[in-house]
Amino acid sequence: MPEQQIDLKKRRLLTNATSVVGAVGAGFVAWPFLSTWNPSAKAKAAGAPVDVDISKLEPGQLVRVLYRKKPVWIFKRDKQTLAALKSLDAELEDPNSSGNSKQQQPKYITENYRSLKAEVAVIVGVCTHLGCSPTYRPELGAADLGGESWKGGFYCPCHGSKFDLAGRVYSGAPAPTNLEIPKYHFVSDALIRIGVSPDSHEVTPIFKSNKLT
């Protein structure tokens, strides 16, 4: 390959790497897409559950996996974040998910953290306005998102909807409801299965695919 082409290739690689680092808030590490114990392509197309190993996930870190062609975010919340979530009700459209957002989460998700375990969030990363994927903005007091009042959350770049770190939409945003919480459960402390409820007895394609292939 001519030298000039190699240089161009290198430069592109460097630019891409810088963009990824630049998109991540200081002190936080986001992994673009986690390598999961994914089922086969055939099983995925049929909506197979996806298992995610969170044993190495640190507070503040967020991983994304694809489930039914949608990004699902999994991230850990520390005590400070959980305390902040409790203080936001007055600023949110439907803080208890009892109004418009009732259908946005499984029935067994009942408390304000919108999760099975307070410290681990599992949220579908698709804006409920027109379907863009909001950006993870966990940093407290982000100047461009309201300064001191910003307790961390997600910002949708398409039309400006803001969500907190439980996926609850702020009042006045174009998004009509909180973000969706998918069906999921903990297989163990370190393993989440997305797509299956805790009490489900579903025979899932993830197991079938192993036998069939």
Does 46 contact ligand FES by CB under 6 A? Answer: no
Q: Minimum Å distance from CB 162 to ligand FES?
A: 9
Q: Is 105 exposed, middle or buried (0-12, 13-18, 19+ CB in 10 A)?
A: buried
Which of 139, 138, 140, 133 shows the shortest CA–CA distance to 157? 133
Does 174 contact ligand FES by CB under 6 A? Answer: yes
Which of 132, 115, 110 shows the shortest CA–CA distance to 181? 115
Q: Minimum Å distance from CB 116 to ligand FES?
A: 26
Q: What is the C-alpha separation between 110 and 120, in angstroms, rounded? A: 15
Does 162 contact ligand FES by CB under 6 A? Answer: no
Does 14 contact ligand FES by CB under 6 A? Answer: no
The gap between the terminal CA atoms of the chain, to the nearest Å, is 40
Does 176 contact ligand FES by CB under 6 A? Answer: no
Q: What is the C-alpha separation between 139 and 62, in angstroms, rounded? A: 13
Q: Minimum Å distance from CB 133 to ligand FES?
A: 9
Q: What is the C-alpha separation between 48 and 206, in angstroms, rounded? A: 5
The contact pattern for ligand FES, residues 93-132, with x = CB under 6 A and - = no contact, is ----------------------------------x-xxxx
Does 172 contact ligand FES by CB under 6 A? Answer: no
The residues binding ligand FES (CB under 6 A) are 127, 129-132, 156, 158-161, 174-175
